Structure 1
Amino acid sequence: MSKKAARPGRPSKLTEETKQKLLQAIKAGVGIENACYYAGVSHKTVREWVRRGEGTHERPTSNEFAEFAEELNRAVVAAEITLSARIMTASTNDWRAAAWWLERQRPERWANTQRIEVAVDNKLIDLMMYAYQNLPPEVYHQTVKVLADRMGERVINVLPMSTDIDADLFDPTQLSDEELEKIASGG
């Protein structure tokens, strides 16, 4: 009677039970890290199995890993379809569900960018104050002129509210609370 040669190393943790727990959690919409925790296997190990299944890992692939990678990808897509359908169903009764979906699916057109712009303006104020306090006056003045030429309105909004950009007179530490509030509110 011939016996199969023993394979070197530890047995794979990719058991049918582990695989089913992972797929069940993913299909339910659970993130991959929590699905791994639920199945009792590390996220690093699952990433390795997927890479082996896709043939992008240094270790060799096998049908077992290729099938697992395909099943995992299908489970992710199935969860996305299920959850998208729930959002679309909810959007018939609540416009916020539709708005949420649009913001995430088409951010270039529908996302709320106002918070990002305020954050950028605040960073620009910080940068201008740092430049004013740390650069030699001639370098600072030239920097303000270059930024005003390059960025136009954005730099003008950071400068004291006037129609004329006068780099020699600009002191960003002299912005009034009203001017700072106007910049922070985006207007």
Structure 2
Amino acid sequence: MANTAKGLDDYRKREVLAILSVGCSRRTAARYVGCSPSTIQRTAQRDAAFAEELRKAELKAQILFMKNIAAAARKEPYWRAAAWALERLNPEEFAPRKADLLTADQVRELLAEFAALIVEEVPAAKYRKNILRRLHALARNLGAKPGTGTHDAGDDEAEDRHEIETQDMPDEETE
């Protein structure tokens, strides 16, 4: 029987660990032993030793794959292995981008153009200032990690350009 009242029996735990250690998912392991992935998760929550073995089995497969990719990448005919690894380890720099996606720099440039348009088209200074302030904040946070509100130091030059563009506003008329 695959499941006991408290989760997986020892035999099924070993089966799950063996399947994970060759790179299969928990879902595949669950199907193989005849349980749901949540049974594996609940068993791990109740059994700290099993949870640690799960973690190690999953990492073992990842490490093995990366070793194989690194070995292949050292051989010139297999340069694609190195490219594959770079794309996954550092996707911001190396992953192929779809043609319809914008880079952070392109979005900053678009925001700067939008700010110039606002300066020209929004007659009320108080509204214009609030909009420009919010656009500047958006541009400043483009390089931020989600939820941090902090940006990369490399973004300072683009921010300075944006700040100059938004500060060089024509004389404002008040209503």
- TM superposition score category, shorter chain reference: 0.5 to 0.7
1:3-18 matched pairs, under 5 angstroms? 11-18=5-12
* Counterpart amino acid of residue 42 in structure 2: E
Give yes or no for contact 1:121–1:154 (8 Å, CA) kept in 2: no
1:97 aligned partner: 81
| Aligned with 1:117 (options 87, 103, 106) | 103
Give yes or no for contact 2:136–2:163 (8 Å, CA) kept in 1: yes
Q: Computing the radius of gyration over CA atoms, which structure comes out larger, 1 or 2?
A: 1
Q: Report the Cα distance in structure 1 between the residues aligned to 2:47 and 2:10, rounded to whole angstroms.
A: 16
SS of residue paired to 2:103:
helix
Q: Report the Cα distance in structure 1 between the residues aligned to 2:37 and 2:44, rounded to whole angstroms.
A: 11
13 and 49 in structure 1: CA distance in 2 versus 1, 3 angstrom threshold: closer
Displacement of 1:136 in angstroms is: 8.4
Displacement of 1:52 in angstroms is: 2.0
- Deviation track 1:102-141 (CA, whole Å, cap 9, x = no partner) reads 3433557x5459756259719x65xx59xx6xx9843442
37 and 96 in structure 1: CA distance in 2 versus 1, 3 angstrom threshold: same
1:15-54 matched pairs, under 5 angstroms? 15-54=9-48
Q: Report the Cα distance in structure 2 between the residues aligned to 1:42 and 1:119, rounded to whole angstroms.
A: 45
1:138 aligned partner: 125
Give yes or no for contact 1:88–1:98 (8 Å, CA) kept in 2: yes
2:57 aligned partner: 75
Identity of aligned residues (%): 29
Q: Which runs of 5+ in 2 are unaligned?
A: 141-158
| Matched positions, count | 135
- Deviation track 1:17-44 (CA, whole Å, cap 9, x = no partner) reads 4223311221121122332233222222
TM-score calculated relative to the size of structure 1: 0.51
Task: Please report the RMSD computed on the Cα atoms of aligned residues, expressed in angstroms.
Answer: 4.1
SS of residue paired to 1:94:
helix
TM-score calculated relative to the size of structure 2: 0.54
137 and 50 in structure 1: CA distance in 2 versus 1, 3 angstrom threshold: farther
* Counterpart amino acid of residue 121 in structure 1: V
Q: Which runs of 5+ in 1 are unaligned?
A: 1-9, 55-65, 169-187
49 and 119 in structure 1: CA distance in 2 versus 1, 3 angstrom threshold: farther
Q: Report the Cα distance in structure 2 between the residues aligned to 1:44 and 1:136, rounded to whole angstroms.
A: 59
